[in-house]
Amino acid sequence: MALSSSPKVLGIFFSSGDLGDVGRHAVAAALEMPPTVVATIRVFSRDIASMEKANWKCGCGQHSLSQKDRSRIQLVQLDCTEDDLVPSLLNVDAIVSCLGSRQPFHKERIVRKGTERLVEAAIRCKIERFVMLSSVGIGDDWPPMQWCQEGRMLEGFFRTICWIQYQDLSAAERSAREGALENPSFNFLIVRPVVLSEHREPVGTWRVQIAKHEDHPTTEISKMDCARLMITEAVFPSMSQRAIVLGGNQHIEDFKTSNEYWANLQVPFFCQAQKLQATTTDKPAKTRGRIF
């Protein structure tokens, strides 16, 4: 399903936690697109003041919003678990939802109820596209990242100290799928990122897993590149009614042991109406700053 060609109004929801960090980056990714593609960005959060912070726990460097950026952004303090969402979503073309967390003992729990209410509001407002952030290991992706040690660690977390987070993300995914079953026009995509690194620099490319147990994405992706994929899919849908596992771009020499490398796809980021070419010159950053 393709969205209309007129400039888009995007609604971006984010919470606290590692998945919420991607939501703030989604705002920056949307600003990379010209106003002829994305005209207005409505940003919703319980803690909307965090958009003004310079440190977004990432490898991008310091963040700030210029006056030109602010002319395209509407910052809205909103609790998606309690407030009426419909008035805020009028005339929105696509929603990008980055609620929830994979961090143990994280206090804020809004992804289950928030996603359920967001899906209901999106259907009522006849919003054309819904892209939500989840996690590897949810639903039919269990066990997570079975090809690496990080996956076994995350599996252990989901079985123990992150059991609540696993349950909440699972329920959020069900809300999206049930919304599509009840309303076939509800066009959703679930994005399940691998490890979201606090230090990896964005490169403008990523890798979508073709099939579980058949190919292995990298174990880390920058928060900005994850956000770019979500914004690209919100504006230019190419994958619908499904969940994808998203990894970072990887240097070919680091993938020589895998027979599945050549089947792996490069999905470039759409930026200012031009596709960036995938490169094989940047090796993955060292393993550090991992947030599950």
CATH code 3.40.640.10 for 8-291: no
pLDDT for 1 equals 53
pLDDT, tens digit, for every residue of 242-273?
Answer: 999 999 875 433 333 333 332 333 333 333 32
Mean pLDDT of the chain: 83
pLDDT for 104 equals 83
The residue ranking higher by pLDDT, 231 or 67, is 231
Token code pair at residue 261: 């490398």
Percentage, residues of the chain above pLDDT 90: 61
pLDDT, tens digit, for every residue of 119-144?
Answer: 999 999 999 899 999 999 999 999 99
Mean pLDDT for 23-27 is 93
Q: Is the pLDDT score of 241 beyond 90?
A: yes
Strands (E), the chain: 8-14, 38-45, 73-77, 94-98, 129-133, 188-193, 195-197, 205-208, 220-222, 242-248, 267-268, 270-271, 274-275, 290-291
pTM: 0.83
What confidence category does residue 215 fall into, taking pLDDT thresholds of 50, 70 and 90? confident
